[in-house]
């Protein structure tokens, strides 16, 4: 094979490779990376559908237009217990303005029999949801309890607070921000 034939062969292989890459590329928005939300400020909040202990179902994406605090917690978590009264107070103060709290109990890591007494002890009247499989915790990349995600009316995470307890002043500031 002479030099000219080798150059033509290499060029054909190169052109074939480029054509294969272009033809097999997926330019749709349906790739897993395009569908996945990152649980951090500036990104869409990962969607979930969970039930309350009474069986009522909540889907985060159906709450667009409302400011949402997603709080991941457990009954055995001391900072979770410490911040619940402040969360309840802020909820009562701002719910008429379109603020909702979705308190997600990490039921897979908790004792389900302790949830109802916990809710009664703290007189919680915002939706408490059960993550029985741990899937929502995984979607939110849960590393520590409590973890709180402040989500604006467009469904975008405005602020993430890992650990706690959150002070009432911090809660108030973050809630007022997502209500804008």
How do residues 10-25 score in pLDDT, each as one tens digit? 888 888 888 888 877 7
Provide Rg for the chain, Cα atoms. Answer: 24
How do residues 157-180 score in pLDDT, each as one tens digit? 999 999 989 999 999 999 999 998
How do residues 124-149 score in pLDDT, each as one tens digit? 999 999 999 999 999 999 989 999 99
Determine the Cα–Cα distance for residues 46 and 39; give it in Å rounded to an integer.
7
> Domain 36-179 in CATH: superfamily?
Glutaredoxin (3.40.30.10)
Across 82-102, average pLDDT: 96
Angstrom CA distances, 85 to 68, 91, 96, 168, stand at 17, 10, 18, 9
Task: Provide the 10 A C-beta neighbour count for residue 89.
Answer: 13
Task: Provide the 10 A C-beta neighbour count for residue 94.
Answer: 20
What is the CA angle 147-148-153, rounded to 5? 155
Domain spans in the chain, listed from the N-terminal domain onward: 36-179
Region of residue 65 (left: phi > 0; alpha: psi -120 to 50; beta: else): left
């Amino acid at each position: 094979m002479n030099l000219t034939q080798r150059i033509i062969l290499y060029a054909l292989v190169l052109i074939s490779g480029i054509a294969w890459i272009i033809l097999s590329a997926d330019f749709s928005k349906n790739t897993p990376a395009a569908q996945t939300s990152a649980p951090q400020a500036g990104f869409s909040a990962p969607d979930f559908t969970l039930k309350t202990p009474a069986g009522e179902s909540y889907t985060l994406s159906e709450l667009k237009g409302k400011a949402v605090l997603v709080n991941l917690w457990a009954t055995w978590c001391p900072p979770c217990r410490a911040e619940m009264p402040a969360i309840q107070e802020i909820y009562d103060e701002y719910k008429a303005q379109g603020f909702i709290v979705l308190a997600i109990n990490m039921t897979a890591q908790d004792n389900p029999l302790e949830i109802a007494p916990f809710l009664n002890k703290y007189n919680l009247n915002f939706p408490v949801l059960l993550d029985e499989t741990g899937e929502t915790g995984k979607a939110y990349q849960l590393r520590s309890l409590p973890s709180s995600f402040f989500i604006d009316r467009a469904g975008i995470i405005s602020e993430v607070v890992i650990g706690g307890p959150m002070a009432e002043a911090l809660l108030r500031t973050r809630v007022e921000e997502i209500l804008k």
